[in-house]
Structure 1
């Protein structure tokens, strides 16, 4: 398969996943370091920092998966999610914002993510309109360049990646754990999809 065909297939799969039967999706958890985990399901991978200070979640996939994600997190901690960081504004990374916001999570993202989520938009590649998200689903903490979190014995440095997949992309580096969560600034074995 050529790189272009592989890229087109991946984008088609992403569009189709928006109509997926989420009842069949299983959330898988993998421990990466002492307090750092990765979860997979449908959509972008989730990153987690879980410890005595807080449950910090990077991205939250699709709204119908929130109960499954919360159940998987409950196996790691009895505490609710305190922070959700969106690496960008696309629906497979922010779909659970409303549910987790209602559950009390503080949503954090680059300021352009809040702008994109709060207004009507259009993803040209998919020919897809997006509607403004409700207030509870919007980031309440925004940043322009970077922001740091000192949690669970680690320093999480969140850095904006300008001119990347979207205009609001962020990457998260777990300093002590030596782990990086790149959101969609990196596609494994694919060319990047630019939507700025």
Structure 2
């Protein structure tokens, strides 16, 4: 048992070193809908992200009902490969489960893109970590009916954000966007799911990770599709 657990932990640590991505080992998937851009991108001093020009699109299909969305490339200096952030959407008769919500500035576009392939209600949001390209549209999607889940450390930081770089206090959070479904990392059971959803014929595991990119990271595993979604 100890050997098996050690191997599993080593596997997850290796996975956690990979940049944000998702993949599948099934022969028919993933299907690339939009090929990656060429990059690298450069931006002049003082450049401001033109949020109105960013399009949110389906870029890959990991299974028949598990799609990856992200924004136009080359427009956002913070994330030139995916302006506005990324979302993974599991959809079907049980509703939509979203992994992350992207920046608030593209929330309406993200919802419109989801509506291009499903009319199912937004039921669940999972935040992989606290950065705004992953949580910025939380309140927007909560107001669509979603329940938001995250590791407990993420919620704690959202409720008590650190001061800004200039020393000024950060604005109070929109409470609608604060996660309500909370789980913890268990050091006695590393790499084990803290929460499991059964939706749309899929089994979805939320696996808290510490230490990681932030103090409240989560890896999301889709067992049937054989897909793992990794935060930054």
**TM tier, shorter chain?**
0.7 to 0.9
Q: In the alignment, what sits opposite 1:24?
A: 53
Q: In the alignment, what sits opposite 1:135?
A: 175
Q: In the alignment, what sits opposite 1:49?
A: 90
Q: How many residue pairs were aligned?
A: 170
1:121–1:129 Cα contact (<8 Å) kept: yes
The alpha carbon displacement at 1:26 in A equals: 0.8
With normalisation by structure 1, the TM-score equals 0.79
CA distance in structure 1 between the partners assigned to 2:119 and 2:89 by the alignment: 14
Q: In the alignment, what sits opposite 2:210?
A: 162
Q: In the alignment, what sits opposite 2:18?
A: none
Q: In the alignment, what sits opposite 1:33?
A: 63
3-state SS of 2:122 partner: coil
The alpha carbon displacement at 1:54 in A equals: 1.4
Task: Please give the per-residue CA displacement for 1:24-83, whole angstroms capped at 9, x wherever unaligned.
Answer: 111120211122110011243211101111100000111121110110000111123111
3-state SS of 1:82 partner: strand
2:94–2:120 Cα contact (<8 Å) kept: no
| Stretches of structure 1 lacking an aligned partner (at least 5 in a row) | 1-9, 185-196
Q: In the alignment, what sits opposite 2:184?
A: 144
Judged with a 3 Å threshold, the aligned counterparts in structure 2 of structure 1 residues 119 and 141 are, in CA distance, closer, same or farther, namely same
| Stretches of structure 2 lacking an aligned partner (at least 5 in a row) | 1-39, 72-82, 186-193
1:119–1:131 Cα contact (<8 Å) kept: no
Summarize the alignment of residues 1-196 of structure 1 with structure 2, pairs less than 5 Å apart.
19-29=48-58, 30-41=60-71, 42-122=83-163, 130-145=170-185, 146-184=194-232
For the pair shown, the structure with the greater C-alpha radius of gyration is 2
